[in-house]
Structure 1
Amino acid sequence: MMEDFDEIYEEEEEEEEDEDRAAEEQLLKYAPDPVVVRGSGHVTVFGLSNKFESEFPSALTGKVAPEEFKASINRVNGCLKKALPVNVRWLLCGCLCCCCTLGFSLWPVICLSKRTRRSLEKLLEWENSRLYHKLCLHWRLSKRKCETNNMMEYVIQIEFLPKIPIFRPD
């Protein structure tokens, strides 16, 4: 008898999760398209540019102060300014030694690039928890295809989070 009870309970729980997902999808359908901040630097290592555009996007007008946006982009650019010169040096050394090491000399660059992406993602999560989630925005590092060629690049994608309807009954 207890087994039957568990099965019924699980089905009800699954139905509630399905209803929640449907409600979220309904809210996301009306959310505006995300804002994309592209890299504007002169050096790109494994798709990650050495600098992001600090020009305030017009789609964020009324959502966030231009000063806060610029401060966040400056923090991201500061993180890139520390990490990418080291990555470029390792890339040059790795390319010079590539034939002798059968490509193993490129592993440090790959690892450093991954570490740089993780540090950027952590920084963006900190920014989200500090300010942007309160403003119903979510910043994340996203991989996209370049507009001019078939290469991939990392961009900062600013998504609009749907407001939770507080008047909806539980």
Structure 2
Amino acid sequence: MEDFDEIYEEEEEEEEDEDRAAEEQLLKYAPDPVVVRGSGHVTVFGLSNKFESEFPSALTGKVAPEEFKASINRVNSCLRKTLPVNVRWLLCGCLCCCCTLGFSLWPVICLSKRTRRSLEKLLEWENSRLYHKLCLHWRLSKRKCETNNMMEFVILIEFLPKIPIFRPD
């Protein structure tokens, strides 16, 4: 009975290796992701207060410009609601930092995490509503700035590979 289990596990591992190889081959032909950078004048912990709403040329034929702009406007409205509160807490935390040994910055860190989570949830909703049907995936990603060594959050629009439906199971 043990021999049977070992053979079964080996066959299962071979199938998983074949599936991984097929996925890697599909990802190899996917174009580079589109990067939407922050264009606001205030940045708190790498998160800008606004993202560019200009339609990227790489998405031509994939998404309607109106849908793209509506999605970016939803993201920007979420940032517009949460970031001013973060800035106020950051200023208060910096003023009291010496007296509290840095503990006054914890509310800003927690609010920043909450803002990122709400943006990630919004992007997941957008993905499930529209973009996964169009073979696109939006996500929030941390990238190095082009001008300096600081890190910033950007929206990555990745192209999902189309699954070949004529391939046998």
* Coarse TM-score class (shorter-chain normalised): over 0.9
After superposition, the C-alpha distances for 1:47-88 in whole angstroms (9 at most, x for unaligned) are: 000000000000000000000000000000010000000000
Instruction: Report the CA distance between 1:160 and its aligned residue.
Output: 0.2
In structure 1, stretches of 5+ residues that fail to align are: none
Q: In structure 2, how many angstroms separate the alpha carbons of the residues matched to 1:4 and 1:101?
A: 64
State how 1:10-159 maps to structure 2 within 5 Å: 10-159=9-158
Identity %: 97
Instruction: Report the CA distance between 1:142 and its aligned residue.
Output: 0.3
After superposition, the C-alpha distances for 1:87-131 in whole angstroms (9 at most, x for unaligned) are: 000000000000000000000000000000000000000000000
Q: In structure 1, how many angstroms separate the alpha carbons of the residues matched to 2:72 and 2:141?
A: 15
Look up the SS of the partner of 2:86 in the other structure.
helix
Q: In structure 1, how many angstroms separate the alpha carbons of the residues matched to 2:62 and 2:137?
A: 12
After superposition, the C-alpha distances for 1:5-40 in whole angstroms (9 at most, x for unaligned) are: 111111111111111111010011010000000000
The normalised TM-score by structure 1 is 0.98
Instruction: Report the CA distance between 1:167 and its aligned residue.
Output: 0.5
In structure 2, stretches of 5+ residues that fail to align are: none
CA RMSD of aligned residues (A): 0.5
Q: In structure 1, how many angstroms separate the alpha carbons of the residues matched to 2:83 and 2:167?
A: 48
Look up the SS of the partner of 2:164 in the other structure.
coil
Look up the SS of the partner of 1:92 in the other structure.
helix
Look up the SS of the partner of 2:114 in the other structure.
helix
Instruction: Report the CA distance between 1:155 and its aligned residue.
Output: 0.1
Look up the SS of the partner of 2:11 in the other structure.
helix
Q: In structure 2, how many angstroms separate the alpha carbons of the residues matched to 1:31 and 1:121?
A: 23
Q: In structure 2, how many angstroms separate the alpha carbons of the residues matched to 1:162 and 1:52?
A: 26
